[in-house]
């Protein structure tokens, strides 16, 4: 299995082992998902089940795409571990105020406020639908004291105004929606302005020669839920243009009854390289940026989830790393 087949997603059915997703998604414009029913004929021994299924609507028609997304591509506990420990290593104190840009369901913000009673989170997203889902399914599930320390804001990350921040997150490659250096620099400048002295900006990045191929990658998510024992997550790099370095990617989900949630999420991005990102961070005034590269588990033949500062990486077909930029 290539390093691409690793992910930051923790499989809830197997929580002790962090499973890495192949090339996670990022932000961008979500599209209305289409549902494809199973067209394959059932085997003889499965006639009764097939008859039952014939009456029931396809699983895909009943599924919640945000829940499926979280299970497939997020591992908020591991991510917050990394953020919390790295900030402490760099600054010798704990961060308190965190802003999660492109927050989506605000799962990460909720994890931040669960960690310590002093932690405060601000989640920023443009989309009222996903924010409403986050409020109803994530923020509302927090204990009241923690709930009062999460604030979800519907706004463009480029222009949002917030209090001085210890940490800003731009995860799952969401900032790749900025197509030009100027736009990316404007965003990085805005983040830097909002950071308190000593503040730290965390981003993730992926690359490797598979990242610019028009390919699909599937991964089985073993987690019990209304879908059954699990489902298949499909990361679809459907189009890449080497001249602009722009790409279109989709996430599809497939279920035990064969039904599919096609294009549950779609993204149009620019595939940025690490040198470009670090150059633009420097142009935006960040004092230092460091790449945290993932170690390799020889036994499992996959990434080990341990990200350490590195000056030189490895020529993997698909890798994921963090970039940590200090004000």
Binding positions for ligand SAM, rule: CB under 6 A? 25-27, 74, 102-104, 124-127, 130, 156-158, 171-172, 174, 177
Partners of 309 in beta bridges: 292
Nearest distance, CB of residue 79 and ligand SAM, angstroms: 8
Give the residue at shortest CB distance from ligand SAM: 27
* Residue 125 or 210 with smaller CB distance to ligand SAM: 125
Nearest distance, CB of residue 51 and ligand SAM, angstroms: 39
Q: Rounded distance, CA 252 to CA 303, Å?
A: 24
* Residue 178 or 255 with smaller CB distance to ligand SAM: 178
* Residue 53 or 237 with smaller CB distance to ligand SAM: 237
Nearest distance, CB of residue 186 and ligand SAM, angstroms: 11
* Residue 177 or 277 with smaller CB distance to ligand SAM: 177
CA angle 197, 166, 288 (to 5 degrees): 60
For the record, the structure tokens of 202 come out as 């965390």
Q: Rounded distance, CA 8 to CA 23, Å?
A: 9
Beta strand 246-254 with 120-125: parallel, antiparallel or unpaired?
unpaired
Q: Which of 107, 313, 307, 281 is nearest to 200 (CA)?
A: 281
Nearest distance, CB of residue 157 and ligand SAM, angstroms: 4
Nearest distance, CB of residue 53 and ligand SAM, angstroms: 31
Q: Which of 119, 41, 124, 138 is nearest to 80 (CA)?
A: 119
Nearest distance, CB of residue 114 and ligand SAM, angstroms: 17
Q: Rounded distance, CA 102 to CA 56, Å?
A: 36
* Residue 107 or 259 with smaller CB distance to ligand SAM: 107
Q: Which of 156, 179, 185 is nearest to 269 (CA)?
A: 179
Number of CB atoms found within 10 A of residue 275's CB? 8
* Residue 30 or 302 with smaller CB distance to ligand SAM: 30
* Residue 53 or 75 with smaller CB distance to ligand SAM: 75
Is the CB of residue 142 less than 8 Å from the CB of residue 170? no
Nearest distance, CB of residue 112 and ligand SAM, angstroms: 13
DSSP state of 55: H
């Amino acid at each position: 299995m290539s390093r691409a087949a690793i992910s930051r997603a923790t499989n809830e059915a197997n929580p002790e082992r962090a499973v890495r997703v192949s090339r996670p998604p990022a932000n961008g414009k979500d599209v209305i998902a289409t549902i494809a029913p199973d067209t394959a004929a059932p085997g003889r021994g499965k006639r009764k089940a097939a008859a039952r299924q014939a009456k029931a609507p396809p699983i895909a028609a009943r599924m919640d795409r945000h829940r499926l997304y979280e299970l497939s591509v997020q591992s908020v506990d591991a991510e917050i571990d990394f953020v919390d420990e790295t900030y402490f290593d760099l600054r010798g104190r704990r961060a308190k105020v965190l802003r999660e840009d492109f927050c989506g369901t605000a799962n990460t913000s909720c994890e931040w406020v669960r960690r310590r009673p002093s932690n405060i989170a601000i989640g920023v997203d443009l989309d009222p639908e996903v924010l409403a889902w986050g409020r109803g399914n994530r923020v509302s599930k927090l204990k009241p004291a923690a709930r009062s320390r999460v604030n979800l804001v519907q706004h463009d990350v480029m222009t949002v105004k917030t209090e001085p921040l210890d940490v800003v997150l731009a995860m799952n490659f969401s900032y790749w929606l900025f197509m030009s250096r100027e736009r990316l620099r404007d965003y990085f400048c805005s983040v830097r302005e909002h950071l308190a002295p000593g503040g730290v900006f965390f981003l993730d990045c992926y690359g490797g020669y598979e990242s610019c191929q028009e390919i699909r990658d599937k991964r089985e998510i073993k987690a019990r839920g209304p879908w059954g024992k699990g489902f298949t997550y499909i990361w679809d790099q459907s189009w890449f243009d080497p001249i602009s370095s722009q790409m279109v990617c989709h996430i599809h989900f497939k279920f035990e009854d064969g039904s599919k949630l096609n294009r549950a999420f779609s993204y149009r991005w620019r595939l940025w390289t690490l040198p470009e990102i670090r150059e633009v961070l420097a142009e935006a005034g960040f004092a230092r940026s460091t790449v945290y590269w993932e170690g390799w588990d020889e036994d499992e033949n996959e990434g080990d989830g341990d990200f350490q500062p590195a000056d030189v990486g490895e020529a993997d077909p698909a890798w994921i790393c963090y970039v940590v930029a200090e004000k």
